[in-house]
A and B are shown apart, each in its own frame.
Chain A
Amino acid sequence: MNTNLENFCPKLRPGRVIPQGSRIIFETDNPYNQIILPMALADLVLLCSGKFSVREIVEKIYKKQGAVPFRSILMAIHVLHQGGFFENGEELTLSSDLRSWMEPRRSRWNLSWRFGQRIVADEKSPTTYYLATLSILIGSILGFQLFPSNPLLMSETWGAALNKWEVVWKLFVASSALMTLKYCIRGWQTILLTGKAYNVALRLSPWGIHLHVGNEANDLFENRLYTVMFYVSQILVPWACLYMASFFTTSAELEPLIVMAMAITFWEMNPFVNSDGMRLIQALLLPNDRDVASWHFESNQLIDSISPEQRQRDQDFGRLCAIWGAIWLLMSFALLHEAAITFGPTVLQNISQFSMNSIIPALGLIAWLAGLYQVVQALVETVAASLIRPHWRRVRHHLKQLQARTHDEWPTTEVVAKIEDLPLFSHFHEQYLVKVIEKSQLLKFDAGSVILREGDPARDLFVLLEGELEVIRMGRNNESEWITELGPVSVFGEAALVDDQPRTAQAVSKTAVIALRVPVQVLRETALESQAIRHLEDFRNAILVNQFFASSQVFRSLSPSSIAFLSSRGTLEYYDKNQLVFLQGDMGDSLYLILRGTVAVTVHQTTLKHLSQGNFFGEISLIANVARTATITTVEPSVLFKISADAFWEVLVRHLDLGVFLETVSENRLREDLEFAPLPKTGTDSE
């Protein structure tokens, strides 16, 4: 049975949770594996027994802690799932975006006999590690003296002098020896640096029979310099081994080692596999606390609206990988090309003879073809990732526009079908709705047209049927202030129905737009005639609230049932100009949505910013379970929608991505506060 993330009941493999300082280590028994998580997630790990869904776990954590670190929880589930810590990981069905980042590691082409689950040293020795790694790097540089001027020619000359089976045997032995030495050194380095080495095994792989040490201890690296040194030394370590071997062996015995050292180094620089080179880029570019939250969002709107710095960092990382990937691919093509020229005629000639001597050349040809396949596949992936995917959304958008219909193709029945579920029209019976539409006008606007102008008398409201528009208004300093962006099907200009004030904002079409202009008078008359609306005040309030949810970039991604739930649990509050909403330091028990008006955010007596219609505040106290971190005062008469903490959390556990989003918004807001608001001189109990 496949389930989505919220309904997934994670069941961890049998193991134990070891608390250590502010972290916990979760260790599985067989095979031995471990992961380090923040102590704040201990409850999550302990609740992963298969009994509770992620939604229930989040709810339980909220009830217990009063706050939920959404992003950490999603990241933890991500790494646990990817690391294969869940027994039922295959049950988790992810959206296509999520799937690519969260699928578990695939099994490799190897056979292992694990004989050491965990080797623990009494103490770490970073200084010895530093000196040892430095020696390896110096040895590698010295070992590069052995690098042949023409590697393929050297290989050919060496291979020609020997029997084919002898060549294979010598390469096999050389590869096994080099890999064993590499992993011995790796294990020694991890023990020196972290005091531990995990999953020591004897392995049969395409690299021969060799010792293998798991990467699990690498998660314990804390110093970036040491981490970078580790991976660089691991890429180059075959050359240090060669340099050492050069003192004891003849040049003829050294040749297979040189061939394999080149192959191993080249492979470890491959950015398309989980190689040491790839890990080196990560260690250089991605900090340990990197935020992968944006990868979890299904909604592009949410991705666009959070954490631009982190997205930029991810993009930079992707670009560097693409550049590295392109260089590696060029080298690979050059190598394959050279190999084809150097060995091709001989290999084909041998194969065509169909004798025992053909086996080895045939295997060589297969290896060459496999290499070509890998390189082409990697090339396709690089092109897809760096060229097509970033532009795909734009292409899709244009395709959508091409599909857009003209306004002549909108029969009344279809307009009815489109708008009958809108909160504003849901009160009307179909016959009254038809009446309203017949008295309304279907309009088409080109991109960039001003549909509503600020200050104009408000006599109509509009229903956006197709296209996109943005709502802007002039700020206090005569600067245009972006309020929101609307897509089909949504209502705008509805203030005309609520009060008789002139337009407070202007609507400008971003694309070609088809909109239904509904005269307010017609709507009022029909409302009275239909008798569906008994209390005009309630109706107005419902419109205000529903319009907020329909137009808010953040909240419109919620399901209709969640919006209905929040709408039913909140209360409208009316504030005059300069009225206090709450004080910094008050206990926070509610979230506020700004339906109308503007509020000022003041931290330590410094007014930092204004929040306007369509925005929200008060979320920090609810998510982090702290007192209010700012004082909120209205700048103009405002209408706020107050949602209680319980109702808010009930919706949040159903929409984890909204939780992650609000957590990120809260963090960004607090960072701004810290940057611009001076701390009080009297001192705080800051820790």
Chain B
Amino acid sequence: MFRRKAKPHFNSKPSALTDLARKVGVERRLHVRVLYPEAYCSLLPEVAYNGGPLRVHDISVGGCCLLDPLELMGPNVGTDLVLHLKWADGPARVHCRLVARVDHKRHIQFMDLEAGRADRIRAGIISGTHGHSMKVISGDENDGPTLEASEVWSSLGGDTVIIESHVHRLARIHFQKKEYVMYREAWPIKNAATPVSRTEMDQLILFLCNIPQPSDLLKELIEHTCLMSGAGPR
């Protein structure tokens, strides 16, 4: 009687189940790997071996995957070696083991990474893990309502990337409950007012780079964000 007349209020939150499952915490996710962005990212360490920098393909708390086309680290799996993980506030010597190799990729396990450093990597990779669960929303395969955006990516966790065809705006990103606006010719802003900080920019880059199977538009956005990040705030 009464409920029938009720005007429905819709639950505007994303699925509580995914949210709760994440809160319970999952052990393996502690060692989840995130792709290392091509641009400089202050959240994650740069890696050097014998004084020479190496490109990092992906990284986790337990180890990383390095690209070593010149075989600087040698061909043998099982070799123990020392890597220098360089953060902005100084490097750390870490004993590592080469546990696997595929072509020029070297899979490295950290043997004695300090807890503080591990926590730092863990904090850094959170943004990347957000990217992993993003899926594209497409309206092209049907005659349903039209989507007022060039492309939309979203996850059940509530993160969203809306790529626009706007003169000034390139995209709007809803990430970790904050609203970011990416401009074509200007430094991005957060929550419609504040310029995005350097750390937030790095988080965004890491988040975007880890979105699986990126489309051309998304690649363009990633490239633009990396470029913008290199330019710094104007």
Supposing A21-B174, A289-B11, A674-B24 touch, asked if A687 and B130 sit within 8 A by C-beta, the answer is yes
Supposing A39-B158, A101-B3, A295-B3 touch, asked if A288 and B29 sit within 8 A by C-beta, the answer is no
A12 within 8 A of B: yes
Taken residue by residue from 185 to 216, chain A's Cβ proximity to chain B (1 for < 8 Å, 0 otherwise) reads as 00000000000000000000000000000010
Partner of A42, one of B24, B29, B30, B137: B137
Taken residue by residue from 242 to 285, chain A's Cβ proximity to chain B (1 for < 8 Å, 0 otherwise) reads as 00000000000000000000000000000111100011001000
Taken residue by residue from 96 to 136, chain B's Cβ proximity to chain A (1 for < 8 Å, 0 otherwise) reads as 00000000000000000001000100100110011001010
Supposing A19-B162, A585-B28 touch, asked if A687 and B154 sit within 8 A by C-beta, the answer is no
Nearest B residue (CB) for A314: B3
Looking at the assembled complex, report how far the CB atom of B7 sits from the nearest CB atom of chain A, in whole angstroms: 6
Partner of B30, one of A314, A671, A673, A682: A682
Partner of A686, one of B9, B22, B135, B146: B22
B234 within 8 A of A: no
Within 8 A of A (CB), among B166-183: 172, 174, 176, 179
Partner of B17, one of A12, A103, A271, A663: A663
Q: For the complex, what is the distance from the CA of A379 to the CA of B162, rounded to whole Å? A: 51
Q: For the complex, what is the distance from the CA of A272 to the CA of B179, rounded to whole Å? A: 41
Q: Do B23 and A670 have beta carbons less than 8 Å apart?
A: yes
Q: For the complex, what is the distance from the CA of A603 to the CA of B135, rounded to whole Å? A: 29
- A22: chain B residues at CB < 8 Å are 14, 154, 158-160, 174
A40 within 8 A of B: yes
B26 within 8 A of A: yes
B142 within 8 A of A: yes
Partner of A47, one of B3, B129, B144: B144
Q: Do A69 and B149 have beta carbons less than 8 Å apart?
A: no
Q: Do B174 and A686 have beta carbons less than 8 Å apart?
A: no
- B119: chain A residues at CB < 8 Å are 683
Q: For the complex, what is the distance from the CA of A624 to the CA of B139, rounded to whole Å? A: 23
Supposing A103-B4, A680-B25 touch, asked if A72 and B11 sit within 8 A by C-beta, the answer is yes
Supposing A12-B145, A37-B10 touch, asked if A624 and B25 sit within 8 A by C-beta, the answer is no
Partner of A292, one of B8, B26, B130, B157: B8
- A19: chain B residues at CB < 8 Å are 147-149, 152, 160, 162, 172
Q: Do B8 and A14 have beta carbons less than 8 Å apart?
A: no
Q: Do A215 and B7 have beta carbons less than 8 Å apart?
A: yes
Q: Do B24 and A629 have beta carbons less than 8 Å apart?
A: yes
- A35: chain B residues at CB < 8 Å are 10
Partner of A674, one of B6, B8, B23: B23
Within 8 A of B (CB), among A16-40: 16-19, 21-23, 26, 35-40
- A50: chain B residues at CB < 8 Å are 143
Looking at the assembled complex, report how far the CB atom of A461 sits from the nearest CB atom of chain B, in whole angstroms: 39
Q: For the complex, what is the distance from the CA of A240 to the CA of B152, rounded to whole Å? A: 47
Within 8 A of B (CB), among A199-240: 215, 218-219
Q: Do A38 and B21 have beta carbons less than 8 Å apart?
A: no
- A304: chain B residues at CB < 8 Å are none
- Chain A residues bordering chain B, tally (CB within 8 A): 101
Taken residue by residue from 1 to 39, chain B's Cβ proximity to chain A (1 for < 8 Å, 0 otherwise) reads as 111111111111111111011111111111010000000
A318 within 8 A of B: yes
Q: For the complex, what is the distance from the CA of A400 to the CA of B152, rounded to whole Å? A: 55
Q: For the complex, what is the distance from the CA of A229 to the CA of B15, rounded to whole Å? A: 30
Q: Do A289 and B13 have beta carbons less than 8 Å apart?
A: yes
A572 within 8 A of B: no
Q: Do A46 and B30 have beta carbons less than 8 Å apart?
A: no
- Chain B residues bordering chain A, tally (CB within 8 A): 62
B199 within 8 A of A: no
Partner of B2, one of A79, A218, A321: A321
Partner of B154, one of A40, A45, A271, A382: A40
Partner of B25, one of A52, A82, A317, A686: A686
Q: Do B28 and A17 have beta carbons less than 8 Å apart?
A: no
Q: For the complex, what is the distance from the CA of A604 to the CA of B174, rounded to whole Å? A: 31
B138 within 8 A of A: yes
Q: For the complex, what is the distance from the CA of A69 to the CA of B23, rounded to whole Å? A: 17
Nearest B residue (CB) for A40: B14
Q: Do B179 and A21 have beta carbons less than 8 Å apart?
A: yes
- A318: chain B residues at CB < 8 Å are 2-3
B156 within 8 A of A: yes
Supposing A19-B149, A22-B160, A627-B26 touch, asked if A282 and B9 sit within 8 A by C-beta, the answer is yes
Q: Do A47 and B156 have beta carbons less than 8 Å apart?
A: no
A351 within 8 A of B: no
Q: Do B15 and A624 have beta carbons less than 8 Å apart?
A: yes
Q: Do B24 and A40 have beta carbons less than 8 Å apart?
A: no
Supposing A22-B14, A46-B139 touch, asked if A624 and B146 sit within 8 A by C-beta, the answer is no
Q: For the complex, what is the distance from the CA of A314 to the CA of B6, rounded to whole Å? A: 12
- A290: chain B residues at CB < 8 Å are 9, 11
Q: Do B24 and A12 have beta carbons less than 8 Å apart?
A: no
Q: Do A75 and B20 have beta carbons less than 8 Å apart?
A: no
Looking at the assembled complex, report how far the CB atom of B14 sits from the nearest CB atom of chain A, in whole angstroms: 5
Looking at the assembled complex, report how far the CB atom of B81 sits from the nearest CB atom of chain A, in whole angstroms: 26
Looking at the assembled complex, report how far the CB atom of A312 sits from the nearest CB atom of chain B, in whole angstroms: 15
Q: Do B29 and A75 have beta carbons less than 8 Å apart?
A: no
Looking at the assembled complex, report how far the CB atom of A215 sits from the nearest CB atom of chain B, in whole angstroms: 7
Nearest A residue (CB) for B9: A288
Q: Do A14 and B12 have beta carbons less than 8 Å apart?
A: no
Q: For the complex, what is the distance from the CA of A381 to the CA of B68, rounded to whole Å? A: 77
Q: Do A16 and B147 have beta carbons less than 8 Å apart?
A: yes
Which of A15, A43, A583 has most B Cβ within 10 Å? A43
Looking at the assembled complex, report how far the CB atom of A384 sits from the nearest CB atom of chain B, in whole angstroms: 7
- B126: chain A residues at CB < 8 Å are 685, 687
Q: Do A49 and B142 have beta carbons less than 8 Å apart?
A: yes
A571 within 8 A of B: no
Q: Do A40 and B21 have beta carbons less than 8 Å apart?
A: no
Nearest A residue (CB) for B154: A39
Q: Do A37 and B18 have beta carbons less than 8 Å apart?
A: no
Nearest A residue (CB) for B143: A49
Q: Do A39 and B21 have beta carbons less than 8 Å apart?
A: no
Q: For the complex, what is the distance from the CA of A23 to the CA of B174, rounded to whole Å? A: 10
- B28: chain A residues at CB < 8 Å are 585-587, 627
Looking at the assembled complex, report how far the CB atom of B155 sits from the nearest CB atom of chain A, in whole angstroms: 8
Supposing A38-B12, A40-B14, A624-B17 touch, asked if A673 and B122 sit within 8 A by C-beta, the answer is no
A-B contact pairs, 21 of them (CB 8 A): A16-B145, A17-B145, A19-B147, A23-B12, A39-B137, A39-B152, A39-B154, A46-B142, A47-B142, A273-B5, A289-B13, A381-B1, A585-B29, A620-B17, A624-B18, A625-B156, A626-B26, A628-B26, A629-B21, A682-B30, A683-B119
> Which residues of chain A have a CB within 8 Å of any CB of chain B?
12, 14-19, 21-23, 26, 35-40, 42-43, 45-52, 64-65, 67, 69, 71-72, 75-76, 78-79, 82-83, 100-101, 103, 215, 218-219, 271-274, 278-279, 282, 286, 288-292, 295, 314, 317-318, 321-322, 325, 381-382, 384-385, 583-587, 603-604, 620, 623-630, 663, 666-667, 670-671, 673-674, 677, 679-680, 682-687
In addition to A45-B145, A103-B4, A685-B126, 9 A-B residue pairs with Cβ atoms within 8 Å of each other are A12-B144, A16-B145, A16-B147, A40-B154, A40-B156, A51-B142, A67-B15, A585-B26, A667-B16
